[in-house]
Structure 1
Amino acid sequence: MKNEHEKNAHDDRSRISRRTLLARTGATAAALAAGPVLGGIQPAHAAAWRVPGEEVPHKRTWMAWPSSYTIWGNLLSKIQADIAKLAKEIAKYEPVLMCADGSSAASQARTMCGSTVTVISSIPVSDCWMRDTGPLFRVDGAGGLDAFGLNFNAWGENATRFYGIPASAYDKDRVIAQKVAAYAAVPFAKASVVGEGGGVEYDGDGTLMATESCWVNSNRNPGKSRAQIEAELLARFGASKMIWLPGVTGQDVTDGHIDGTARYIGPGVVMVQLAGAVRPDVWTENAQAMHDVLVNSTDARGRRLQVLTIEGPDVLPRVSPGKQSQFLSSYMNWTVTNQAVITAQFGDTGKDAAAKSAIAAAFGRPVVQLNLDNLYGNGGGGAHCVTMQEPNR
């Protein structure tokens, strides 16, 4: 049983979002000098291997069941409820494989997720952020499948620096990528860079998008130049062009993941969410800056990008005023399934409906909007952050 001091610390931390502003930390971006590529890492496969776009057919979606009180404190049950709601919705369209940390957590997950979600206890997990911790699956166009990992380090150890969560609390997530790959019975390799799946977008046709704030950052890739990081990501993803976008350093635990603001619909087509009235100015300005770069960009095939836009909500009627600036009010943090796109609704009737219509038109498939306020608010991540697709071979 935790003593009262520990419980109070957890309760205080539970009120801090995963994307909480960090002015009090004084965190600043550091300029990185060029340095040698780390040795001892298996080299990337030939360019014939590629990570396909998320809109292609999936074999299944991987998720992870949160069960750590050390990480979540008194918010744990609310986050679990949102994870279960999302998993049950995804399972209507494709298989869901949920990793749980041991038999007790697995039993709880089965009860809350129901029989349509497959829960396994053989892959230990620390937390629910499978997009950031899990492997990236690749195909070779000839029936081959393999995977690689991005060496998750708890968002540059920001989880410890921002929230005081012990670094050891994420030990299982630091090695989950290779265990998922082993379960899927595919070859696995580690990249020579550190980052997260939510920090890079890929079209499956040769082009990547990423924010410099995540990757060219001393908390993940000290001593590496942007060119070195880019070369490794392109090789791993089987791509030939990177579009670097401005990001935001030190304002959230992810250092400005791209998947809340700019996403691929498919090759040559991206969507950007321009911030609504509830987002702080730093995010509003960053979204506009991303948009301005993308409208003047071409992809690996020489196509000028078609840039679609939606607007974030202007009101969050279910969220207290004091928490609204910390809320991930992103329709963009969707997860794509075989027959539908699943995203959030925030109670802004007009903006919710407009986003749903625009996303449905862009993908040409139905859009489901769920109330996931605890995940997007208290968790600071969304449907994309907690899912990882495994493509068909």
Structure 2
Amino acid sequence: MKHLRRRSLMRSGAAALLGGAGLAACASGPEAKAGTQDMSAPRRGTWRMPAESAEHARTFLAWPPRDSVWEEYAEDAQRDIAGIARALADFEPVTLLAAPGELKAARRACGADVEILPVPVDDLWIRDSGPTFVAGAKGLEAIDFHFNGWGGKQEHRRDARVARGILQRHRVPRIDAQLTAEGGALEVDGHGTLLATESSLVNANRNPGMSRDAVEAELKRLLGVTEVIWLPGVRGRDITDYHIDALARFCEDGKLLLSRPPENGAAVWRRAYETSRRILEKATDARGRQLEIIDLPEADPSRLGRRGPEFLGGYANYYVANGAVLVPRFGDRKSDRNAASLIGELHPGREVVPVEIPMIAEGGGGIHCSTQQQPAP
């Protein structure tokens, strides 16, 4: 693929995107205005972001078009998305966005239980391009975080309109965020705690001129959280600038899964894991409790045959659905089995559903990146 994949920045064309048109694009619109405002003073909002484990009304997915960054791999990526959609449809309603010219192919692949909407998209990562739903005083509302291609790193002409399009079609009130973010950058426990990486949010490619305090104040206002645990993350090594959903996830009350890279993995990810663990061991949640941290070992690419440099073998990118938890399966039987068992133990009462996602993983993403939940009213 010629695009910047999610796990590592391809040098070809990256400098031009980050130094030229990409940053110019992200310096316009609502996010640029946010960069000039003093938002460090706390402002209480009337919204609350439910935990992913709360009941869902539906899950959204996006069908990667053939005229996309996936190029000749589009059919393989579509096969992975169809597998996720079919697995989810056994547990809750599923709505998939697809270009008008690809509706028939999507219906054929996903089956009659999946609703298909004629909405053009650039890519499949709807966790980031789609709206982030919150509970408001008047019912369900949703935040438009102004998706800008992860800081101008990828073309996003269609995906920039996805959040607004979904909300208009489903008649959900739209909240205009005063910063730029992606859904994969936000991990909440549903009790007032937000976990995030500085590298993906306190970054000039999303929020020029905004301090960490300013970003935190707006996130507290929008998501209804009172405690933000910041991890440094890693800048410029993957297209997301290290989203939190590749690193850490809240599970049972007061417990947190931390993705542990293999010993023979790249040093940058090992250091990020070690630094994050030290911070989390000292952190407390919104209720003042110390978190219990549980390591979730990643798959070892050396035991999986040939894998590209962008391959993401992190099981932390699972998805919690109604009555189920969808866990990636990479092909290492022992590793897959151990991860599914651990995730299942920490999400009691839910069926563990392993899903193979070979092309999505090669693209540096996972099941969580490819889904976005709409909470039940």
Structure 1 range deviating more: 76-85 or 271-280: 271-280
**Which residue in the other structure is 1:387 paired with?**
371
CA contact (8 A) 1:205 1:267 kept: no
Partner of residue 327 from structure 1, selected from 311, 315, 332: 311
Runs of 4+ in 1 over 3 A off after TM superposition: 21-28, 35-39, 44-48, 315-319
Q: Does 2:6 correspond to 1:18?
A: yes
Offset of 1:143 from its aligned partner? 6.8
Q: Secondary structure at the residue paired with 2:107?
A: helix
Offset of 1:148 from its aligned partner? 0.8
CA contact (8 A) 1:106 1:119 kept: yes
Partner of residue 81 from structure 2, selected from 73, 80, 83: 83
Deviation sequence 1:3-50 (CA, Å, 0-9, x none) = xxxxxxxxx627x6432244675789xxxxxx97556x9xx9953420
**Which residue in the other structure is 1:337 paired with?**
321
CA RMSD of aligned residues (A): 2.4
Q: Which runs of 5+ in 1 are unaligned?
A: 1-11, 29-34, 160-166
Please give the TM-score of this superposition, normalised by the length of structure 1: 0.85
Counterpart of 2:2 in structure 1: which amino acid?
Answer: R
Partner of residue 97 from structure 2, selected from 96, 99, 111: 99
Instruction: Measure the CA separation in 2 of the matches of 1:279 and 1:250.
Output: 18
Deviation sequence 1:221-259 (CA, Å, 0-9, x none) = 111111101110111001111100011111011111110
Instruction: Measure the CA separation in 1 of the matches of 2:7 and 2:83.
Output: 22
Partner of residue 130 from structure 1, selected from 126, 130, 138: 126
Matched residues, percent identical? 37
Offset of 1:306 from its aligned partner? 1.6
**Which residue in the other structure is 1:155 paired with?**
150
Instruction: Measure the CA separation in 2 of the matches of 1:319 and 1:94.
Output: 35
Instruction: Measure the CA separation in 1 of the matches of 2:205 and 2:339.
Output: 34
Counterpart of 1:194 in structure 2: which amino acid?
Answer: T
CA contact (8 A) 2:301 2:313 kept: no
Offset of 1:189 from its aligned partner? 1.6
Deviation sequence 1:117-146 (CA, Å, 0-9, x none) = 11111x332221110011111114x67111
CA contact (8 A) 2:326 2:353 kept: yes
Counterpart of 1:274 in structure 2: which amino acid?
Answer: R
CA contact (8 A) 2:145 2:177 kept: yes
Please give the TM-score of this superposition, normalised by the length of structure 2: 0.89
**Which residue in the other structure is 1:115 paired with?**
112
**Which residue in the other structure is 2:140 paired with?**
145
Deviation sequence 1:130-177 (CA, Å, 0-9, x none) = 10011111114x671111111100000112xxxxxxx3xx21111211
Instruction: Measure the CA separation in 2 of the matches of 1:278 and 1:326.
Output: 15
Change (3 A) 1:143 1:358: farther
Change (3 A) 1:65 1:238: same
Instruction: Measure the CA separation in 2 of the matches of 1:182 and 1:215.
Output: 26
Offset of 1:369 from its aligned partner? 1.6
Question: What is the count of residue pairs matched by the alignment?
Answer: 358
CA contact (8 A) 1:277 1:313 kept: no
Q: Secondary structure at the residue paired with 2:279?
A: helix
Counterpart of 1:228 in structure 2: which amino acid?
Answer: A
Counterpart of 1:94 in structure 2: which amino acid?
Answer: E
Q: Which runs of 5+ in 2 are unaligned?
A: 20-32
**Which residue in the other structure is 2:335 paired with?**
351
Offset of 1:68 from its aligned partner? 4.0
Instruction: Measure the CA separation in 1 of the matches of 2:202 and 2:344.
Output: 34
CA contact (8 A) 1:316 1:347 kept: no
Instruction: Measure the CA separation in 1 of the matches of 2:36 and 2:56.
Output: 33
Offset of 1:70 from its aligned partner? 3.6
Instruction: Measure the CA separation in 2 of the matches of 1:284 and 1:367.
Output: 28
**Which residue in the other structure is 1:74 paired with?**
72
